Amino acid sequence: MTNQIHFIGNAHLDPIWLWRWQEGCGEVLQTFRAAIDRLKEFDDFVFTCSSAAYYDWVEQIDPELFSEIREYIKMGRWVPVGGWWVQPDCNMPAGESFARHALYSQLYYYKKFGRICKTGYNVDSFGHCGNLPQLLTLGGMRTYVMMRPGMHENPDIPDKLFWWDGVDGSRVLTYRISDSYAHSGTEDLDRTLDTLKEMLPEKQHDLMLFGGVGNHGGGPTRGDLGHLVRRAESEPETPLVFSSPDAFFDRICRGYLDVPAYKGDLQHHASGCYSATSLVKQLNRRAENRLACAELWDTVSAAVCGADASTEAIAEGWKDVCFNQFHDVLCGCSIMEAYEDVRAAIGHAVTIADRVENAAQLRIVSRIHTWLDGISDPVTLLRHHCRKEGFPRPVVVFNPHAFSVRCPVRTNHPSSAVTDAAGHAVTFQNVRSSRSNDSHLDTLFFADVPAMGYALYWLSWMEDSAVTPDCFRAVEKDYGTDVRAGQDYLENDVMRVEFDRASGTIRSLVRKADGYDYAAGNRLAVPTVIDDHETDTWAHNVFRFDKIKAEMQCESMELAEYGPARAVMRIKHRFGESHLTQDFILGSMQETLRVKCKAIWQEPFTMLKTAFPLTGTEEINTYEIPGAFIKRPANGEEEPALRWADLTLTCADGVRRGLALMTDSKYSYDCQGTTLRASLLRNVICADHYSSRPAADFNYTDEGLQRFEYGILLHAGEAETSDVVREAAVFNNRPNAVPAGYRKGTLPAQKSFLTVTEPNILVTAFKKCEDGSGDYVLRAYESAGRNTGRVGFVCDLADAGFWADFRAHEVKTFRINREGYVTETDFLEGIVE
Amino acid sequence: MHLPYKLTAQPARFCTQYEPHDPAVPEALYTVRCPAPDLSGFPLPLPSRKADYTCFARVGNVHWYGATTGLTRYEPDALRKDQIIQFFAAERDLQDNCVLALLPDETGLWVRTETGVTRIEMRPVGAEEKALMLLHESQRIVDRWGMYSQKHLSVPRDLDSKLPYGHSDNDGGFTSGFAMGELFHYAVCKREKGAEHPDTIEAKNAAVRACEASLLLMHIHGRGNGFVARTYMCAEEPMPEDGVYFRLQGDKAVCLDTPATRERGSFLKMYGTDIKEGANAGCDMRWAGMEIDACAPIPPRLMHLITDHGHEREGIFYKADTSSDEITHHFLMMLVAHETIGMDDPELDALLIDAAKATLGHIIDHGYELTDATGEATTWAKWSERYFVTELGYVDACLNAAEVLAYHKILMHISGERGKWQESYDYLISRGYADLATKHFDRMQQSSLAEGTHPFEDIMYGDHMLAVLSFWALCTLETDPVLLEKYKNGFRSWRTSLAREYDPGYDLPYAVATGDEIDMDRVAEWLYRMNVSRLAAGVSTMKRHDTPVHVLPGGEKEITWLLPNDERFISKYDRNPFTYKDVDSGGLVCVESCYIYTFAYWMGRYYGFFEE
């Protein structure tokens, strides 16, 4: 079998980048029309195009063009690839986002064209996380085309064809484009063709040549195609064929194949992209969290209350999120104006989620028995006067996690007492509210909520007369709980944190389980300003951000709150015209020290990191990646990660210990030796692409107000054996409190709708199947990196209880029918035949 | 991995079946009132739908829930996770799945179902005790002139009704597997109790008998050229129709006329190995009636296996067209036998070495193929490069390359010879066989991509043990660090599909060979949950409410968790334990060999993985 060169006619389309989406949409329409013209002009030509969102646009705006495309797809001359909504960033979206990319896109392709995409296709995305092989495979794609990082950025990744092994053992046959996805013009095409031709004997397999004007669309020109046809005719010895990635891989797999294997991440290309433009990162994380929660409560509500599930609305929200995960968008390197669109689009998704969740939770709440005989009757008559009557008000706390949670929740009124449904007193504290009105106080109490369920609490009103000046001061005394605080320390039963007043950093951080001080003579949580003026928005060719410009100066430190439920140390820092306020919050029995931050950032060409220099040897970095975690070398390179990053090392006493940083909206970390740092913001010029930066009043990616949180978790042993995954999950998705009325309901005061028997199996989706059958879909993943057998799932709601074995890092999707029988399926929910 | 792992006696199922009105059945079973259980809020998955549970009984902290679809045992305080919920079902445990009444007593539970009565007792059984129970059952029921595969019964469930005959296509391989278990058994007894201890002597006798039975297959055909028969039958046995047979007649052997021999020509032709040369060239019907020389003598030491039962060589018919399965098992048996019993029985050791040399000599001399009477390769015993470039051979190549390399290492180890064996080994290495042995996962993936199937759908589950044996030998015998690393990686490439079975028969050799960690808790669970009998009574893996089904892209169906041994079908090392199916391999009229358990258990003891 003679090896061939497959010419892949394509047009790389950035729907947003140096333009807004409206222009991108027009560019898609023009490119698709041009592609149809080329298909008519050249009988053998095949056009390849990814991204379901583009087809969706064309279908809505130009049905006639869409019909023509459909015909060419039937003929096999137009080949959709990359069964995702767009070509997203492949490091920052959550695992569940990738599931949604595949779900909505592949089902779209299946419905419109009768087929799904076989080949994953992210030729421009800047890096590819180590769990992508599994996420691709579960979306129906076992072959993959990528390009970045380039050979000059990471020569360890095999050139051209290789087996890519994911962290879970999944494998995709991958083609790495080593130069460009957009060859065009006779000289460029000839040069590339000659290079590939020379390469054929060495590679011993077919190769692909990607041609067509790209980025702002375009595709192969008439001149390009004519030139290739003429060259093929005049050089029979040049084995050039018009083809598609699908055809390429089909042919590859039917012959002798001996290519290398590569395991893990494919990194790095644009290391600055994971911290630039905090806005889009924060919106993305929030939308992912909100949609997942809304969907599960909507599913529960539909079953409990007989309501219709909001499947279509949720899908609409997810599509907005998926669209804005496009690599140039989520990576923060598009023009500033585009982010106004992003704010609106993801805001739309969040609004959908909030509305759906609110309706669902209120429906459930309305069925919970909150009636108090002898009390509720008169109150009900005086419905809005329960406060005046002095009766407790019911509040229902919802826990979206499939494990029970004890954590603080907050309501917008002060209370004199909080009890659970059984009448037991609950630890609470009236804390300063965000408003400057009436009592100025909110109730913060610790709720114990069963797995994916709710719990009812009773909050007794606090009279205005009880609000005294002490309510607003951190009075140092024994409150009868484990919380202790002073002017320079916070303490609970888990840890003791001491602050250095001069620098506003942590000087001692003791985990009480073994008395070890993680600071060990160092200062932790050091706000560090990095000089970032030599790079562009992507940080092309820069992989380490290690030029320290300054440490922010401490301006003040005060014990802002202290009570039975929590204590708060407020520390303010300054650098130039920029300010950072950090509230270090330690709650009763809480394992995570929360740090609530407000930054007002003005410094151009800077990056802000918080640094945690530890002491020890044999350091190992662990990072959360989509649907899994990965170990990376502690070499100082900037690393993309999701909700948490961890540094574990061997301490002087020989014991392995670690410190994990978790965030609610950040995606970038580094670790040089034994110093772990989270990148909190990056303020460089927007959409600055290898620019010479002519003088101008530039817009910057992170200038202005920033609000975010990070958390600090101490643990013994390795990261994967710690609570970091669950803590980070709760840190990002906290149980919420819903005020209730007095109702005679059928639901008990506390209920779990879904439980999982093993702590390392986390549920990421509980929804109704997209086919309208009424079946439930449940997705979960193994989070500790260990094979786990006999995992039990119990869901009375669906009359289902079943076992499953998970291999390390495995993502599983189950479909539960109306009789509670279960099928294991994939992201496509068993809809695609 | 902390070794040795401490095994303890664990409750095992003893289910006795009764006719509905057997006098032994207590009358109360027909009058007892069993309320339906309240299972709302039950914290764990249940094998039956909650609505299907109809009766309930409790003994201490053990709850029994009867359903129209089987019986569930719930012991919330069980020490092992796998023992908290257990499922009992027809035909293995019950006579049918519609449970009508439950009556506990001091030692067990009476269960009335629609068609019968069952008494269930959970008795603690040690892992070694179980090995001996299973061994004795196999010796009593399965043994066929020293060969161990399976035996059929004339009366369902009645172990006393075994048929006097019955063979398996892979008698040779299974017998060598059995032999390895007993060789390890012998070695452990000798080490722990001394050579003269009755247990040691008994184990030795069992091991020697099985070794001899395997060796006899290398001589029974009388060809004298290193060929190995699959199995053989005595003159009075009915002739099966599932293979190529030769009957011994004086110094000759005549190929019998069977459907298989009649089809043999077309089969060969289909795979491109039709005879091109020689007297039978181009002849599709050449097998039946073919007469070949069979004058090579059987070593006297082995003859007793035939004569002890009043048979003689004349008239015996043996099965040809032998596969690499048999050869691989035999070579590993030779290695284990040499290591464990060779010093104690030099005569047997010499027979092993001679047989190994004859067999490998044959393979080398025939271009790395096992040739049959026609001079052409058998269907499935080809380790040649010319086979590896065929469509079938491309997928087989990775395993077969490892196999033939293992034969060389074993022979050189047990014989102490190098010479032509080393030359041949070096030649194969120079031809890339060691590299090829690492490519299993690659080619499995490639094949499944080409076919649009899941990689697991392309697995021949019978290949798993062949890979384990081959890489186990290679990794333990190879001293060249570069080759050793390749062999370890080759083993790891198989681990991708082996690991999920948690089968100690695979995991223990893997750990010995690679030094990689294995899950000893799961190894223990596998041993603990093995039934105390190998009666192949079926249990369905379908219709369990607690067991999801996974439809793979090629259409195969699997369950998504590994059911414990006593809740899934009984098989040898040749089946996918995740198979979603309603029937069993042998059923109530079949008893399987014990070697799946005894091989794993005694190997574990031998290598110090566990103790009791």
Q: Domains of chain B: which residue ranges?
A: 5-127, 383-518
What pLDDT is attached to residue B286?
64
Q: Are A626 and A129 in contact (CB under 8 A)?
A: yes
Locate B539 and state its tokens: 């249990």
pLDDT of residue B75 exceeding 50, the answer is yes
d(CA A554, CA B48): 64
**Does A462 lie in the same domain as A551?**
no
What pLDDT is attached to residue B275?
46
Under an 8 A CB cutoff, do B44 and A801 touch? yes
Under an 8 A CB cutoff, do B45 and A802 touch? yes
What is the arithmetic mean of pLDDT over A706-726? Answer: 98
Under an 8 A CB cutoff, do B43 and A794 touch? yes
What pLDDT is attached to residue A2?
87
d(CA B277, CA B274): 9
**Does A132 lie in the same domain as A264?**
yes
Under an 8 A CB cutoff, do A823 and B545 touch? no
**Does A264 lie in the same domain as A286?**
no
Running DSSP on this structure, what letter comes out for residue A77? S
Q: Give the amino acid at A545.
A: F
Q: B460-477, pLDDT tens digit by residue?
A: 999 999 999 999 999 999
Last residue of a domain, one of A208, A242, A269: A269
Q: B503-553, pLDDT tens digit by residue?
A: 999 999 999 999 999 999 999 999 999 999 999 998 888 889 999 999 999
Q: Are B537 and B584 in contact (CB under 8 A)?
A: yes
Q: What's the CATH number where A426 sits?
A: 2.60.40.1180
Nearest to A831 by CA among A775, A787, A784, A747: A775
Query: Which whole-number Å values give the CA distances from A628 to A129, A166, A779, B242, in the listed order?
Result: 10, 10, 14, 50
pLDDT of residue A762 exceeding 60, the answer is yes
Within 8 A by CB and 6+ apart from A784, the residues are: A720, A721, A725, A760, A808
**Does A448 lie in the same domain as A307?**
no
Within 8 A by CB and 6+ apart from B223, the residues are: B253, B292, B293, B294, B296, B373
Domain membership flag for residue A355: yes
Q: Give the amino acid at A623.
A: Y
% pLDDT > 70, chain A: 98
Q: How far is B439 from chain A (nearest CA, A)?
A: 8
Residues of A in contact with B518 (CB under 8 A): none
d(CA A633, CA A619): 9
Within 8 A by CB and 6+ apart from A510, the residues are: A495, A496, A497, A516, A517, A518
When pLDDT is cut at 50, 70 and 90, the band that residue B167 belongs to is: confident
Identify the closest residue of chain A to B496 by CA–CA distance: A169
What pLDDT is attached to residue A469?
86
When pLDDT is cut at 50, 70 and 90, the band that residue B127 belongs to is: very high
What is the arithmetic mean of pLDDT over A51-73? Answer: 98
Instruction: Kindly tell me the sign of the dihedral angle through the C-alpha atoms of B522, B523, B529, B534.
Output: positive
% pLDDT > 90, chain A: 91
Question: Per residue, what are the HEC states of B498-558?
Answer: HHHHCCHHHHHHHHHHHCCCCCHHHHHHHHHCCCCCCECCCECCCCCCCCCEEECCCCCEE
A600 touches chain B (CB under 8 A): no
d(CA A499, CA A507): 5
Order of all β-strands in the sheet with A755-756 = A755-756, A788-795, A800-806
**Does A91 lie in the same domain as A29?**
yes
Running DSSP on this structure, what letter comes out for residue B140? I
The C-alpha angle with vertex A74 and arms to A72 and A77, in degrees rounded to 5, equals 45
Rg (CA), chain B: 25
Residue B555's CB: how many other CB atoms inside 10 A?
Answer: 9
Q: A407-417, pLDDT tens digit by residue?
A: 999 999 899 99
d(CA A604, CA A575): 12
d(CA A658, CA A677): 14
Locate B430 and state its tokens: 């120079």
Nearest to B552 by CA among A349, A826, A295: A826
Question: Per residue, what are the HEC states of B333-396?
Answer: HHHHHHHHCCCCCHHHHHHHHHHHHHHHHHHHHCCCEEECCCCCEEEEEECCHHHHCCHHHHHH
Under an 8 A CB cutoff, do A830 and B551 touch? yes
Question: Per residue, what are the HEC states of B21-79?
Answer: CCCCCCCHHHHCCCCCCCCCCCCCCCCCCHHHEEEEEEECCEEEEEECCEEEEECCCCC
The C-alpha angle with vertex B352 and arms to B350 and B357, in degrees rounded to 5, equals 95
Within 8 A by CB and 6+ apart from A424, the residues are: none
d(CA B524, CA B97): 29
Within 8 A by CB and 6+ apart from B606, the residues are: B184, B187, B188, B340
Q: What's the CATH number where A47 sits?
A: 3.20.110.10
Side-chain-side CA neighbours of residue A453 (13 Å)? 26
Within 8 A by CB and 6+ apart from B153, the residues are: B159, B161, B162, B163, B588, B589, B590, B591
Residue owning tokens 């151009």: A604
**Can you tell me whether residue A542 is helix, strand or coil?**
coil
Q: Give the amino acid at B415.
A: S
Q: How far is B551 from chain A (nearest CA, A)?
A: 7
Domain membership flag for residue A288: yes
The answer, yes or no, to whether ipTM is higher than 0.85 is yes
What pLDDT is attached to residue B265?
52
d(CA A392, CA A658): 44
What is the arithmetic mean of pLDDT over A169-182? Answer: 95
pLDDT of residue A588 exceeding 60, the answer is yes
Domain membership flag for residue A513: no
Average pLDDT score over chain A: 96
pLDDT of residue A680 exceeding 90, the answer is yes
Residues of B in contact with A802 (CB under 8 A): 45, 545-548
Q: What's the CATH number where A810 sits?
A: 2.60.40.2220
A202 touches chain B (CB under 8 A): no
Q: A287-340, pLDDT tens digit by residue?
A: 999 999 999 999 999 999 998 999 999 999 999 999 999 999 999 999 999 999
**Does A313 lie in the same domain as A409?**
no
Under an 8 A CB cutoff, do B43 and A819 touch? no
What pLDDT is attached to residue A604?
95
Q: Are A748 and A369 in contact (CB under 8 A)?
A: yes
From the list A254, A790, A822, which residue is nearest B548 (CB)? A822
Dihedral pair phi/psi, residue A530, rounded to 5°: -105, 135
Q: At what angle do helices B324-340 and B171-193 cross, to 10 degrees?
A: 10
What pLDDT is attached to residue B272?
44
Longest CA pairwise span in chain B (Å): 79
Under an 8 A CB cutoff, do B561 and A261 touch? no
Within 8 A by CB and 6+ apart from B212, the residues are: B146, B301, B302, B304, B305, B348
What pLDDT is attached to residue B279?
46
**Does A449 lie in the same domain as A340?**
no
**Does A206 lie in the same domain as A120?**
yes
Q: A94-125, pLDDT tens digit by residue?
A: 999 999 999 999 999 999 999 999 999 999 99
Last residue of a domain, one of A269, A292, A313: A269
What pLDDT is attached to residue A377?
65
What is the arithmetic mean of pLDDT over B34-62? Answer: 95
**Does A85 lie in the same domain as A11?**
yes
What pLDDT is attached to residue A693?
81
Running DSSP on this structure, what letter comes out for residue B139? I
Strands of A195-260 (E only): list them. Answer: 207-211, 240-242
Under an 8 A CB cutoff, do A253 and B446 touch? yes
pLDDT of residue B487 exceeding 50, the answer is yes
Identify the closest residue of chain A to B45 by CA–CA distance: A801
Choose between A382 and B235: higher pLDDT.
Answer: B235
Q: Are A505 and A523 in contact (CB under 8 A)?
A: yes
Domain membership flag for residue A518: no
Under an 8 A CB cutoff, do B545 and A802 touch? yes
Dihedral pair phi/psi, residue B509, rounded to 5°: -60, -35
d(CA A586, CA A408): 11
**Does A541 lie in the same domain as A643?**
yes
Q: How far is B216 from chain A (nearest CA, A)?
A: 41
pLDDT of residue B264 exceeding 70, the answer is no
A799 touches chain B (CB under 8 A): yes
The C-alpha angle with vertex A553 and arms to A550 and A558, in degrees rounded to 5, equals 150
Selected for mutation to probe chain B from A204, A822, A828, A832 (highest B CB count within 10 Å) is A822
Give me the domain span that covers residue A300. 273-362
Query: Which whole-number Å values give the CA distances from A543 to A138, A201, A267, A635, A640, in the listed order?
Result: 31, 35, 10, 10, 11
Q: Give the amino acid at A58.
A: V
d(CA A511, CA A590): 12
**Does A571 lie in the same domain as A635?**
yes
d(CA A291, CA A354): 8
Nearest to A411 by CA among A389, A434, A391: A434
**Does A674 lie in the same domain as A554?**
yes
Question: How many structural domains is chain A composed of?
Answer: 5
Choose between A380 and A823: higher pLDDT.
Answer: A823
A741 touches chain B (CB under 8 A): no
What pLDDT is attached to residue A384?
53
Under an 8 A CB cutoff, do B449 and A256 touch? no
Domain membership flag for residue A56: yes
d(CA A335, CA A685): 9
From the list B446, B546, B551, which residue is nearest A802 (CB)? B546
Q: Give the amino acid at B453.
A: T
d(CA A719, CA A662): 12
pLDDT of residue A779 exceeding 50, the answer is yes
User: First vs last Cα of chain B: how many Å apart?
Assistant: 17
Domain membership flag for residue A698: yes
Last residue of a domain, one of A362, A392, A418: A362
Within 8 A by CB and 6+ apart from B599, the residues are: B177, B178, B180, B181, B184, B505
When pLDDT is cut at 50, 70 and 90, the band that residue B309 belongs to is: confident
When pLDDT is cut at 50, 70 and 90, the band that residue B288 belongs to is: confident
Domain membership flag for residue A546: yes
